[in-house]
Amino acid sequence: MKHIISALVENKPGVLAHVAGMFAARAFNIDSLAVGRTEDPDLSRMTIVVVGDDRVVEQVRKQLAKIIPVVKVQDFVDQPVVARDLMLIVISAAPEKRAEILSLIDVFKGKVVDIGQKFVMVEVSGPEAKIDAFINMCRPYGIKSVARTGTIAMPRQFKAEDNEA
């Protein structure tokens, strides 16, 4: 089962290496890892996607919490979250296929960010399944390269009282 873990960490050199080293030392596999600054310049948020049973992920969470620069660890397993991935993809775009490709991009709500005579570079964001589906639909045209951020996620902020009028 995939688990999305969020770790709030001190924004200083070496923290990412320390966390990655913990995973490597315990033979935990990272499916996806994204790190970025937060609203507090002293803190960064690491979003780590791991695949494993609840026991394995509980070990990961406990080991993360022991690392000194880690301020807070959350496993979003039973929480409603908003999770997104960002991808840049370069697709071969022969002139006779360009309209077809642009239509596909539109269906997936992608954005053309660069274009040339024989290619188109597209930005697509959304849930991982959407990104994977877009890649699969582009394969027949020819994919030149792909770069993905990995998953980022935050718990939903919805509360029952927000829905009352």
The answer as to whether 164 is a domain residue is no
- The residue from 12, 46, 75 where one domain ends is 75
Do 149 and 86 sit in the same domain of this protein?
yes
Q: Do residues 44 and 62 share a domain? A: yes
Report pLDDT for 130: 97
**pLDDT at residue 164 in the model:** 54
For residues 36 and 101, membership in a common domain is answered with no
Domain check: are 96 and 145 in the same one?
yes
> CA-CA distances (angstroms) from residue 95 to 62, 120, 137, 148?
54, 11, 18, 26
State the CATH number of the domain containing residue 101: 3.30.70.1150
Instruction: Flag residues of the chain having pLDDT under 50.
Output: 165
Whether residues 68 and 132 share a domain: the answer is no
Residues 28 and 50 in one domain: yes
CATH number for the domain spanning 41: value is 3.30.70.260
Residue type, 72: K
Q: Are residues 28 and 93 in the same domain?
A: no
Could you say which DSSP state residue 53 is in? -
3-class SS of residue 146: strand
State the pLDDT at residue 68.
86
pLDDT for 160: 52
Number of domains in the chain: 2
**What's the pLDDT at 57?**
85
Are 144 and 86 members of one domain? yes
Closest CA to 102 of 123, 120, 127, 129: 120
Write out the residue range of the structural domain in which residue 7 sits: 2-75
**90 and 127 part of one domain:** yes
pTM metric for this prediction: 0.83
pLDDT of 161? 55
54 and 108 part of one domain = no
